[in-house]
Amino acid sequence: MPTPSRKPVEVRLIAGGIPAGQEMPARGPGSVTLVGAGPGDAELLTIKALKALQAAEVVLFDDLVAQEVLDLVHAQARCLAVGKRGGRESCAQGDINDLMVRFAKAGKRVVRLKCGDPMIFGRAGEEIARLQAEGIAVEVIPGITSASAMAAACKVSLTHRDHAQSVRFVTGHSRHGTLPDNLDWQGLADARTSLVIYMGGRTAGDLVAKLTAAGLSLATPAIAVRAVTRPDEKRWHGTLADLAQGVAGLGLEHPLLIGIGNAFAAAQAIDLACFEAALQASSA
């Protein structure tokens, strides 16, 4: 069923990257910059993203953007929470588009702050199209997408030449709250492909059923990571056979990533090696 909509919520930030008493740079024509906030850890922001946050007069930010990232916004900027969360009350995309247009036409420097990378499952295409149709200058500053952060955190090479010949990013959540009905399951059911599923927590059971029906072995390595790079990050690793149970154990308070394929066996091997090293150290 459709996700209920809500009005944007204005947030007054206490801390900022530039002191409240310092003048902001001179204002030019209104513009919009789509900024990737990365997976959560503020130290993973690009320098260009940081500069955009500190020069912004209006920031429209997603629900999942970490507070430590928001703390870098100029203290005088107007911040509006336009959160979008699957299965929860969210701002309608049309309303977000209208806000960007309204503020930009008023001559403001607007930042549309998105978790991860704006161009990967971030609806950036819809927003860019609307802004261009309105004649508004738009720039995109990329961020670290969650799949890259997960690979780094778990020390898994998504393109390890011995285990994976390709990488696929797939959404596990359609606008109807179910798996997309137009995915190529035969193409995805390949253990030599590093398959990363975004927003797949609530559909993990259906995902397993679709992949196994297409021929993927239940013994295929799998991992799941919740809140990657954040203080409450949690991980699970095992096989496709146990994926649905493992995902349920992580909880669904935060969106999570699922990784499936031979390359993800490395996560289990590394965790086991770390456990054995810690065990030896404690018994020494």
User: Annotated catalytic sites, by residue?
Assistant: 62, 84
Angle at 182 between CA 180 and CA 188, to 5 degrees: 90
**Best CA proximity match to 237, nearest among 261, 213, 203, 210:** 261
- Residue type at 170 in one-letter notation: V
Cα separations (Å) of 256 from 39, 84, 234?
Answer: 11, 15, 9
- State the helix-helix crossing angle for 146-154 and 265-283, rounded to 10 degrees: 40
Q: Angle 11-17-21 (CA atoms, 0-180°, nearest 5)?
A: 85
For residue 238, what is the enclosing H or E element?
strand 234-239
CA–CA distance, 113 with 117 (Å, rounded to integer): 10
